[in-house]
Structure 1
Amino acid sequence: MARLNRTFVLTLLIAVSSVFLLFQLYNYRLSAAKNGFNVLNNKGYLSGKEAHWHLLKRFLGLVHKFKLPVFLVDTVSLALLSQDAVLYRDSQLKDPHCSFLCTHRDFTSFALLGNLWKYDAALLDAASERGLELLEIHGKDPRLISTDDLTAKEIPLHFLFRFNGRVVHVVVLYERSGKYLWHGPLRLTASLDRTFAPFGKLDYGHHAGAYDRPELILTTLDGLNVRIPKNFSGFLHEYSSSHFLECRSREAKAFFQLYPEDTSPEAVDFRMRAKSLLHLASRVLFTLRVPFWLSSGTCLGWYRQCNIIPYSKDVDVGIWIKDYRPDIIPAFQKAGLPLKHKFGKVEDSLELSFQGNDVKLDIFFFYDDGDVVWNGGTQAKSGRKFNLMMHMGPSHLASLFTCKCINFWSQALRRGNP
């Protein structure tokens, strides 16, 4: 009986010890994967930073074979860079050493210059040969859509390469007629695998975006040759205000069916002068690094009919008061736009008016007051002051009609026609 008890106790101890060791091994695997140690799972796949480095190596090998004009646009990786790090060449490293390209996230973002690349269907087979799964996202080409023709062919917008649960996201940038680069939104159809990548966490694709064409340099990061924006801090600054709103061509066409467009010489001339004034204002504010948006009647015209309202007789833009700079007035005056009116003050209801070529530019400054956003206004003739207040809803400013055009033409107008 005593021998049976000893056997039972010994068996129980062995079982408990085995469970404890398995639990410790499980925790070690989790910690290793999180911190980038070189661990193999039960399928023989690498995990952690080494797996991500191998994904990037395979992806960049594919880039080299197909001569894909890609460059790094990952916001976390670019934020980690310093000028010293860019100049530092670590090509002598023999082992994977992923400090910049492998971050705490399971993906890295690159951009592909679509106008310099011709789609090759062999890309899918070549990716598969390297052990990479490839998901392509297509969408309509907005460059072919207008109020006269609402049809457009589909073009590739996003590529996602996956290896061992980690992803390289390639967002395709196309050149628009204003000489700026544009990417489309990432829209998942019902047939696409929604578990393929962490779509909700990706840097790009939640909405369309627009950028200046960056100057690129070739450098070595983590032992891999990678192109990056030379002014990567400037690129990150652009990223924060890159949201691009496409013209609502279908709605504009319906509007003009009810209210035919004014094509008189006077209307055409005013639109040209108003757009020229917007180009100039955009260049001045871009130089000052002051973000702005279309406001009031100018925003209404773009939102409703994809154009300037010909009888508005002025141009309206909005700026956050936190972005106000004392050199705004001198900068506009230097650009040939004399100050016509200055109402209010920085602490309360500031408004600036500049005189262009028979077209007035009104700059309204917006104040963020908790759940309310407001801007002041003053009637030039009577001096009567008024405030326009807007309550912030669940989707914040994006839900407000008057701010639907936020950042439109701050991306497009400074470069040319949108």
Structure 2
Amino acid sequence: MKRWTLLQIALILSSVFMLIQLVIWTKFSSKEIGEPNPSRVKDVIKALMNVWDHDKGKLFLMDPDILTEYAEDKMEGQACGSFCQSQKRLVTFGVIGDVKKSLRPVFHRLRSYNFAVVDSIDEFPEFVGDTSFHVTSHVFLQNMKYPEPSVHILVLYERAAGFLWHSKIQVASSDLSFGYEAGSYKKFDLEHTVIDGISLYIPKPVEKFLDSVPQSRYIECDQKRADNFLKAHPPDVSSKAKYFQRKARQLIAQGKEVLNKLGMRFWISSGTLLGWYRQCDIITHAQDVDFGMWIKDYNSQLIHEMEKAGLPLKHVFGRINDTFELSFQAGDVKLDIFFFLTGSNGNNFVGRSLGKRKTCNQPISLPADDESRVCIRDLPGLQNVLNVSPELESPEHSCCRERKRKTCNQPTKQFGPKTGNFSFEL
């Protein structure tokens, strides 16, 4: 009898709790709150900027949608636009964090001014000296007076290689502009501006920052995997090996500078990619550096600009529309650029030299060039210069398999899926 009484009480309490949830859900899904009044976006941002302590870190607008509107409104001379007309439910700001300093005093100040604050903590992926740190990575704010819009503050940290980094957030939301994946950006300046009467900071130049957003995805090298590999296969620490690695890094930086100048998208490929994946470094016994790019991004000024930069042309293999490959020499280290093509059957291919002036096409498992993104990663001594198409980052891809080399013997003029996937011997 006593157990039945307790069960009745539990059922009543559950019903009351469900009723309260239903009332809250009805209220928050109403049109009044579900579709934010544009003026509230401006009010929330204004309230935030009024209470933020910039001495603890300059808060800057980095929301791509609003920054794009701002750039357009500035050109058109709009008096009210970026905030006044915004219908966003979540507006993104950024702040440069310091791994050694806590943002707790800032949060305490925000709470005292009627902001609800929720933050997430992540382990910083690098040691600072001999110390590891846990850092605030993402902060979500809500003005208690106006439930929408919310504010997402992305906390960026400078990595040892000299670029800005933010972590991936664990909470999925269709309203997020950043945080689905970790991101990496070149360091940028901030400029003061006024948007719809609100004084704030934005990245400078804003157009360059917006251009970098679509290709900001950052993939951390698996240091545990690298340590296991290097434990089983101790690295070559001879002066010759160290010399090659130093020259290879210099060549990567030189090649990147020229390709960026020409607006040619590229990624690390072949043995250079294998070195990143397998040991988070450049393979010491290699004698070249490998880049890949889509043939549609080829610029006829490439050879000229490479030679101007001190990288003379060594070899040209194939033709631009079939098995095209360029090699440039930098002292005793060579840069090979492989051009990826799409055949008439929709499959992707890359040209390969077989020696003795013979070339072939090898089928490659890559997304279509209009769908692919490049992702950013770093090697020791380089500042986020290494890009790779997403499919190549997978350990299941043939470029990362061990001891499964197949011979490529397809005739030069054919496209077809009969050849084996390319891979590399250990």
Shorter-chain TM band: 0.7 to 0.9
Structure 1 residues 143 and 374: alpha-carbon distance in aligned structure 2, compared to 1, 3 A threshold: same
Q: Structure 1: which amino acid aligns with 2:266?
A: F
> After the TM superposition, which of the residue ranges 358-367 and 408-417 deviates more from structure 2?
408-417
5+ long unaligned stretches in structure 1 = 1-25, 35-46, 91-96, 189-197
Task: Specify the alignment match of 2:412 in structure 1.
Answer: none
1:162 to 130, 139, 142: 142
The structural deviation recorded for 1:415 is 7.1
**Contact 1:134–1:161 (CA under 8 A) maintained in structure 2:** yes
Give the equivalent residue in structure 2 for 1:79: 68
| Amino acid paired to 1:357 | G
Q: Shift of the alpha carbon at 1:50?
A: 2.2
Q: Is the 8 A contact 1:217 1:228 kept in 2?
A: yes
How much has 1:81 moved relative to structure 2? 2.5
1:105 aligns with 2:88: yes
Q: Choose which of 359, 372, 378 in structure 1 pairs with 2:347.
A: 372
Asked if structure 2 preserves the Cα contact closer than 8 Å seen for 1:109 and 1:168, the reply is: yes
The 5 A counterparts of 1:17-416 are: 30=31, 34=35, 47-64=36-53, 67-82=56-71, 85=74, 99-100=82-83, 103-115=86-98, 118-144=101-127, 152-163=132-143, 164-188=147-171, 199-368=173-342, 372-379=347-354, 381-392=355-366, 406-409=375-378, 413=382
Question: In the alignment, is the contact (CA less than 8 A) between 1:293 and 1:410 conserved in 2?
Answer: no
Distance 1:81 1:326, change over 3 A: farther
In the alignment, residue 70 of structure 1 is paired with which amino acid? L
In the TM superposition, residue 230 of structure 1 has moved relative to its aligned partner by 2.8
The farther-off stretch of 52-61 and 272-281 is 52-61
Paired residue total: 354
Determine helix, strand or coil for the equivalent of 2:126: helix
* Counterpart AA for 1:58: A
SS at match of 1:112: strand
| TM-score, L = length of structure 1 | 0.75
SS at match of 1:201: coil
1:202 maps to a residue whose letter is L
1:194 aligned residue: none
Aligned-residue offset at 1:32: 9.1
- Compare CA radii of gyration and give the structure with the larger one: 1
Shift of 1:409: 4.5
Task: Report the Cα distance in structure 2 between the residues aligned to 1:173 and 1:87, rounded to whole angstroms.
Answer: 32
Distance (Å, rounded) in 1 between the aligned partners of 2:179 and 2:362: 33
Does the Cα contact within 8 Å between 1:86 and 1:220 map onto a contact in 2?
no
Tell me the distance in 1 between the aligned counterparts of 2:346 and 2:360: 19
Q: Mean Cα displacement is larger for which, 359-368 or 296-305? A: 359-368
Gaps of 5+ in 2: 1-26, 388-426
Q: Distance in 1 between matches of 2:179 and 2:311?
A: 38
Q: For the residues of structure 2 that align with 1:228 and 1:297, how far apart are their CA atoms?
A: 40
Local SS of the residue matching 2:250:
helix
Aligned partners of 2:90 and 2:175 also within 8 Å = no
Quote how far apart the aligned CAs of 1:252 are.
0.4
Contact 2:182 2:218 (8 Å CA) reproduced: yes
Q: 1:319: how far off?
A: 1.3
Alpha-carbon deviation of 1:297?
0.6
Q: How many angstroms apart in 1 are the aligned matches of 2:99 and 2:75? A: 25
Give the distance between the partners of 2:366 and 2:346, measured in 1 at CA: 5
Name the structure 1 match of 2:395.
Answer: none
Contact 2:82/2:196 (CA < 8 Å) preserved in 1? yes
- Mapped to 2, the partners of 1:343 and 1:390 lie a distance apart of 18
CA change 1:208–1:416 in 2 (3 A) is same
Residue 135 of structure 1 and its aligned partner are, at CA, apart by 1.4
Could you give the per-residue CA deviations for residues 165-209 of structure 1, whole angstroms, max 9, x where no partner exists?
Answer: 422111112122332212121124xxxxxxxxx634312111221
Q: State, as a whole percentage, how many aligned pairs show the same letter.
A: 31
Q: 1:120 to 1:181 in 2, by over 3 A?
A: closer
Residue type matched to 1:251 in 2? R
